[in-house]
A = this chain, B = another copy of it.
């Protein structure tokens, strides 16, 4: 099985590591606009060789693991250069725009729209880890638009990598993921910003931070180059979540300002049952 991975960072690199383990005969070729990433991936043995888009006609699988603004344009080119029997899937955090961009394309059936809910706050080939996808959800959109044989090939890979599959409409995906992923990143970045700004005047503030703060602000380590195009592509949904979040925070602020402590208590108690929901998430 010839696998070409475009984007040899955290996601692409982790796919490479797991595919190599599950399919020992697989040949993994890396393609990356970032030369130093490509060298690092090769040195670390994440990929077997480096390649070019021109070779995609021979590939069995092409994995697009680049920022979502790059992948939307690149996918059209890849669909042209890939062979008739080549499976292409992406791993982007937005699905509506990319599905719309390829709708009605004569080679649409080569492409499977995927979003594995897996990752860490780190990036680059050095962040790639084995088993990243085990037990994680992989959302597949418009599965019926992918050729049967290629659906089958994709599912075999996802299954061997240990993913649980969910099928969704791309618009519903973007709406839901704005709530459970995109908003978390903004809340974390802005929390980090608020504390960093304060630290300019009040030194040593971070010396007092405990594990609770570290957990809440963890996502503020994420890559701005990856997240800016995600927010751009999912702008309307993200704005909706942000408006609701700001409204809830302002309401909490007002309760506290008015010393309505029963109200403050209730706000927290109503949210407390998130415990039972979170227990199922790693």
B-contacting residues of A (Cβ < 8 Å)?
Answer: 117-119, 121, 136-137, 139, 166, 172, 175-177, 179-181, 183-198, 202, 204-222, 224-225, 227-229, 231-232, 235, 238-239, 241-246, 248-250, 252-253, 256-257, 259, 261, 264-275, 277-278, 280-282
Assess A214 versus B256: contact at CB under 8 Å? Given A245-B190, A249-B245, A250-B246.
Answer: no
Known A-B contacts: A183-B194, A211-B281, A242-B249. Give 16 more (CB < 8 A).
A175-B202, A181-B209, A189-B271, A190-B249, A194-B244, A194-B248, A197-B244, A198-B244, A206-B277, A206-B281, A209-B281, A220-B268, A232-B259, A232-B261, A235-B256, A246-B253
Q: Which residues of B contact A215 (CB under 8 A)?
A: 215-216, 218-219
Q: Which residues of B contact A193 (CB under 8 A)?
A: 248, 267, 270-271
In the complex, what distance in Å separates the CA atom of A209 from the CA atom of B178? 10
In the complex, what distance in Å separates the CA atom of A192 from the CA atom of B232? 24
Evaluate contact between A210 and B136: CB separation under 8 angstroms: yes
Q: Which residues of B contact A206 (CB under 8 A)?
A: 180, 277, 280-281
